Structure 1
Amino acid sequence: MKEGKQADWKKFAATGAAAFCLGLGVQSSIVAPHSNVLPTVKDAALSSSKPANSFVESDSALEPSEVRTINLFRENTPSVVFISTFTERQDFFTLDMEEIPQGTGSGFVWDKEGHIVTNFHVIRSANSAQVALSDAKGKQTLYKATLTGVDPDKDIAVLKIEAPPAALRPIDVGTSADLLVGQTALAIGNPFGLDHSLTIGVVSGLGRETKSPTGRPISNVIQTDAAINPGNSGGALLNSQGKLIGMNTAIFSPSGANSGVGFAIPVDTIKYVVKKLITDGSQITRPVIGISFLDSEQTRGLGLPQGVLVLDVPKGSPAAQAGLRGTVRTFRGIEVGDIIVGLDSVDIRKEGDLFAALEPHKPGDVVELRVKRGTEDGKERRREEVSRTRSDFAI
């Protein structure tokens, strides 16, 4: 496979931070664990204390299902890595640049070329990273990682380490197309900065939607009740055969605590994005129309009709060229902007519908937006055509 160009750590650290500021406000919290947080409660997890190739034989003291789970864990721990990220700071006295620990996370070995897959939010604000790789006996070796590419909209990043092929154990990649609610799900990662740990649950939901660090929704997400704690981000979600079905990415917790429903990016999405990043490098470009908008829940709270309320239309954006109007404050009060209710033949009820309708297109395509304009008694208009080109104002 053709090697892509090495990405720039500083470029994507800045991009990620800016994109995160564009995220939508929500009443509940999405906790995307990546920082090195000390545990306050004991996590019910299985930790590896024997070499990874020391498999358990059938034993009367253990149930067959337990033996299978223990062996599956030990077989896959060399494929799951521990990632430490760093930021740069200039020493006040010597003016030398020094690396400051920024956070930790998990990842997994993708191929024998040394590509490591993790979450974008794990390395989002980092200037550098190192990967701890375990050998067959459980001994860890540290490797400095370079950044191959990122896809913030899908919360996926690809790193690369210069490790001997014999030391690399690529994870066994499965599929997420045939998953069923109720089947076993096993999450392997490094929660709280601890050594490889295993939590077990089931696939508790399919086709879920969560937000990426850019605020753009990630669709077809796997929901699981396998515990996902800080440091688990970027780790592997496996099925009962030990095949990768997803990448642990976040937990949903109304209280903001690190407990609740876990989410994982499906492996079929990962396969497509990782292949593009390794081949083309840098960053995947998606079409935008160049607006900022109000969260659909907040829009409904204002008593406005279904659709995406346009808050701002930056000057020079494709949306501005098409004549879309944003929401403005006047001496009479708030003047509501256009409400997008359709893109081509697709009805738009919330922002997720808008992103889904844009997904099949590429930058430069022309689409037709249907909007309701408050200044014209809510009359639906069809004359706005938007030519989507690459813009700094991503919705």
Structure 2
Amino acid sequence: MLAAAVAFLFLMQSAPAALRSATAEPRVVTPRGDLAADERATIELFRNARDSVVFITTRQRVADFWTRNVYTVPRGGGSGFVWDEAGHIVTNFHVIEGASEATIQLADGRQASARLVGVSPQHDLAVLRIGGAGFAIPRRVPIGTSRDLQVGQNVFAIGNPFGLDWTLTKGIVSALDRSLPNESGPDIRHLIQTDAAINPGNSGGPLLDSAGRLIGVNTAIYSPSGASAGIGFAVPVDTVMRVVPQLIATGRYARPALGIDSDDEINDSLKRTFGVDGVFVLRVEPGSGAERAGLKAAARTVRGVVPGDVVVALAGKPVSRFGDLQARLDDYRIGEAVELTLLRAGERRKITVALGAGTE
């Protein structure tokens, strides 16, 4: 091979001058013409929304076992966006979970320490706050609605995937009303599914419609590799509009609750034991709507567990997991009455329970 290459070079050098150009002129650039209308719209959308998006880095305090010195180490990061002129920043709960401090980087290069205002793990939402006297707050992202979204609509995500700040990705609404299990509480419901690329670092950033309005908060991906595989999820803006004002006002979200307790792991075991698909009531809170309605909890005896009431449906829709039951209650308001379908001693019955205020 080496001998062939040397021979080729020798032939080229000895080729007649007519086969070689004395000068090599650059190619003429072909005029592009105007950008397509959809390209211009996308560029304008990004320019208008970019300043509203922030990059969040978090640190965690740790103590050295030997020296007892306390110091901070990097923990992670994500995205967020400006909510209002008071400097509130909306992001995901999992972006700041376990952190002891957070720093916000704005699109103009400024950095600011953030204060935690409130969190809702049930919705994977958190609110931070920046600013103070003389601190200029960037523009707010316009608010849209999610109840009228349709599969096939164009959507745009802005965030900081893998630390590549202020990245725009485009896709469509792939599906609506998706649910994801939540190990620490109620399922996360009513999620928007999209194929717009969402990667680590995009979490907490805005999902926008083609009018540049907020329609969701990017929250998770489904991917065996941990990178975008075309299945991403966003908390719908209608949920954000219900939760964030509560977090700003009180620091927490008061969720509607029946006043019962259960556990999905224990529940699965009881379902297998008794051959019943539903939510076994393990405890009834004193003074709750469930107690006033007469719900009965399971009892432990020397012979094992004696089941009490088993909730099999909420408002006529079947339920089989406690996390799913809790999440569905979020569609109602505190003080509102809901209809439960129960199995009690093998008999099916319906009762009405007034919802109280639960805690996360």
Secondary structure of the 1:246 match is strand
Counterpart residue number, 2:311: 340
Query: Counterparts in 2 of 1:242-261, with a 5 A limit?
Result: 242-253=212-223, 255=224, 257-258=226-227, 259-261=229-231
Q: How far did 1:284 drift?
A: 1.2
Equivalent pairs, count: 321
Q: From 152, 159, 180, give the equivalent of 1:182.
A: 152
The yes-or-no answer on 1:104 pairing with 2:74 is: no
CA contact 2:297–2:307 (8 Å) conserved in 1? no
Give the letter aligned to residue 75 of structure 1.
N
Distance 1:354 1:108, change over 3 A: closer
Distance 1:389 1:205, change over 3 A: closer
CA contact 1:111–1:168 (8 Å) conserved in 2? no
Distance 1:290 1:309, change over 3 A: closer
Distance 1:124 1:199, change over 3 A: same
Secondary structure of the 1:134 match is coil
Secondary structure of the 1:89 match is strand
Which residues of structure 2 form unaligned runs of 5+?
1-30
Distance 1:171 1:193, change over 3 A: same
Q: TM-score by structure 2 length?
A: 0.75
Distance 2:265 2:310 in 1: 10
CA contact 1:106–1:118 (8 Å) conserved in 2? yes
Q: How far did 1:231 drift?
A: 1.0
RMSD: 3.5
CA contact 1:294–1:309 (8 Å) conserved in 2? no
Q: How far did 1:302 drift?
A: 7.5
Q: From 289, 302, 307, give the equivalent of 2:260.
A: 289
Give the letter aligned to residue 206 of structure 1.
L
Counterpart residue number, 1:79: 52
Q: From 39, 43, 47, give the equivalent of 1:70.
A: 43
Q: From 109, 113, 122, give the equivalent of 2:86.
A: 113
Q: From 167, 178, 184, give the equivalent of 1:214.
A: 184
Distance 2:218 2:329 in 1: 26
Q: How far did 1:96 drift?
A: 3.8
Query: Counterparts in 2 of 1:308-387, with a 5 A limit?
Result: 308-310=279-281, 312-313=282-283, 322-325=295-298, 338-343=309-314, 346-351=316-321, 352-353=324-325, 355-357=327-329, 359-362=331-334, 369-373=340-344, 376=345, 378-381=346-349
Query: Counterparts in 2 of 1:20-169, with a 5 A limit?
Result: 60=33, 62-92=35-65, 95-135=68-108, 140-162=109-131, 164=134, 166-169=136-139
The yes-or-no answer on 1:262 pairing with 2:235 is: no
Distance 1:265 1:346, change over 3 A: same
Secondary structure of the 1:74 match is helix
Distance 1:325 1:357 in 2: 22
Q: How far did 1:80 drift?
A: 0.8
Secondary structure of the 1:234 match is coil
CA contact 2:118–2:126 (8 Å) conserved in 1? yes
CA contact 2:103–2:112 (8 Å) conserved in 1? yes
Query: Of the two structures, which has the highest relative contact order with CA contacts closer than 8 Å and spacing of 6 or more?
Result: 1
